[in-house]
Structure 1
Amino acid sequence: MMKSVIWALAFAVPLAACSSASGPTFNAYQINAQDGIATYRVECHGLLQGQGVCTDKAKEICVDQVVRPIEPVTPFGRSTDVRTLTFQCGPAPAKPVTAAPPETRPAAVFVPAAVVKLDLNGDANFDTGKATLTAAAKRKLDQLLAGSRGIAFSHGEISGYTDSRASAAYNLALSRQRAESVAGYLRSRGLQCDDLTVRGFGKENPAASNATASGRAINRRVEIRLSRS
């Protein structure tokens, strides 16, 4: 019996072991940690030990913690007779939850409208009987220019209108002068338009009734239409 013990001890060489313990029918090792967790190996030799000796010794090492096998080895054809058992103590560590990458969306692209429209109507845009732009009219035109900056328009129409009072010749001339004032202001501030048509229509094409003061104010207007194609 003593010769068997000496033989077992002589060949119990731990692989990358930190410490080991040996008995008559088994060898136990602490091997290199895996994933930062202490890892052990039990080897059961000889014909006298019963099945499950390696498992029993692993339970002794883990004390009150569960034995978590990593690599059990059994003789061919004897799946329950574990002879070499590599294991760790305790439940398996939780796998880190990988956060899903944030959803990427394409940046919003500003697409200018195909047609830009602006109506200057009412008495706030021109003084009575004059074609000079007021400060209020210039602010509206500046907003149009800011929204259209960098856009080259292919066609544009600037049309002037009046109410039905005064003579037809007077209204036609005044509506034309007001349309020219608007066109000149836009051009002087960088409006890009290949084909800009400027016309005066006088009292034609009323947008509201000329029978009321509010309707006549709406009819006194300059319409701006700019298109990109």
Structure 2
Amino acid sequence: MKQILLIVFVILLTGCSTTDKLSRTENLPLVTKSHTTINHLVIDPVGEDANTDIVDRKDVFTVDGLSDIELQNIQMPSLKYVSAQLYETGASISSIWNENFIPMYTEYNYNLLEIDEAAEMITDLNERYSELETEISKISIPTELADNEREHLSKMKEDLLLAISNRTLAILEFKSMIANKKEAHKAFMDVHISNSDRYIKHVEEVNNELQSSDDSLVTSSE
């Protein structure tokens, strides 16, 4: 009887040992499988190829028909480009005056100008100059230019703003002429117009100098 119990006890111990080993073995594939999955996500060559393909597609942007120099000019305006832009704006100051003020002043001299008509024309003239003033202020001077180049362009912008300011003062004197009929206002108006023309003329002279200069001289900071 004791022998039988001993045999049964040994069998039970053997079974427990085998069950414990099986339990441990079943856990191993879970760890290994998890590790394999992580490695697959990190170093899977298919994933790397996909990412590289996306980056390559983003880099494919071309502008047909433009040289490298032309593309560079689009990104960074040159000295001559900005100078010409300012000059053209200065020409607009004179053209607006000729188109709006001169006909009105002519009617005034012939006593044909109505008060209501004058008020409307003056309002329109002031609005156009205000818009032009904003346009001038928005013209940016490239920071890549040399100090002397930036100084030339800054002076041109300043002259244009002063030209508009003097035109506005001339308009105020003209309004006083209509209201008071005093010749003194005409004298002040003429002074403001003369000053405005002088500033515009200076812008024209600077632009002509810059446009006619050799690039190697224009871009010199000495």
Same fold by TM-score, threshold 0.5 exceeded?
no
Q: Which has the higher contact order (CA 8 A, sep 6+)?
A: 2
TM-score, normalization: structure 1?
A: 0.26
Greater strand proportion: 1
Looking at CA atoms only, which structure, 1 or 2, has the larger radius of gyration? 1
TM-score, normalization: structure 2?
A: 0.27
